[in-house]
Amino acid sequence: MELLVSTEWLASELGANDLRVVDATYFALDPARDAQAEYEAGHIPGAVHLDLANLKDEASDLPGMLPPAEKFASRMQSLGLGDGSRIVLYDNSPHRTSARAWYMFRMFGVNEVAILDGGLHKWVAEGRPIEQGKVALRHRHFTVWRDPAAVRDIDQMRVNVASGAEEVVDARSAKRFTGEEADPRGLASGHIPNSKNLPFDLLLNPDGTFRSKDEIRAAFDDAGVDPGKPLVTTCGSGVTASVLLFAAALLGREDIALYDGSWSEWGLRADTEKAIGEACMTTTATA
């Protein structure tokens, strides 16, 4: 199964014994919208709902940090997702939250997982069937392991600011990156020193599908990203950074990781250096 699958492909595969469809819609910055309610009002036939808002590390004060492996496995089992499943993720979010779910599945050892290109919006626009209510699947065994190479913590990010060994790319908007626009969570403005900026929406077409591989590669190049360095992505809380990570995976990159705390952690701390202005400028401000 490819990393990115089309609506045509999914329509032809629906009903396969090993296929599981997962609605990974999450409205991190729009609490007025209820992802569970929208799922129940209409979803791709057979899809279960992955509640990303509550699939997190409850011991952390930061928003949406990766959950413990045991919690992830338990949630997958309750959704009927288990060993041997081919999993297709989709969403109905402007932030392509299925990419965050994709990152989590890969982080916890699942390789047969894909994203539906264009999500629910494209599926519905094509007049394909939807169903209402909840879907309950029989519990299945889910073997989980955590890949520490796929995630970075704040100490690793501090070391990298000094060494520059890894290329850090920020998925937030240009104005949030430069500090021209205030952070919506009330955090300090700016970005991690020496990081590059590639707003996640530049990787998407107007209909929410991913751009071609050549266009994605050009977008990374235009952002000044060095393809010879390992890639670490960041954003506000680890959601849109996952879009960059998925796009890099589409290009065949394997040396990729995500800074899970992202700006919610870096921008909150008084002991972290914040850069202001365009990428790689040296003017800094501390909180």
DSSP element (H, E) containing 242: helix 240-250
Q: How far apart are CA 26 and CA 53, in angstroms?
A: 7
Any catalytic annotation for residue 235?
Answer: yes
The residue with tokens 């250096």 is 273
**Tokens of residue 54, six digits:** 């509550």
DSSP character string of 90-138: E---TT-THHHHHHHHHHTT--SEEEETTHHHHHHHTT---B-S-----
CA dist list (Å): 102 to 24, 59, 110, 243: 9, 23, 9, 9
Q: Are 190 and 197 in contact (CB under 8 A)?
A: no
Query: Which one of the listed residues 110, 198, 235, 257 is annotated catalytic?
Result: 235
- Catalytic center residues: 235
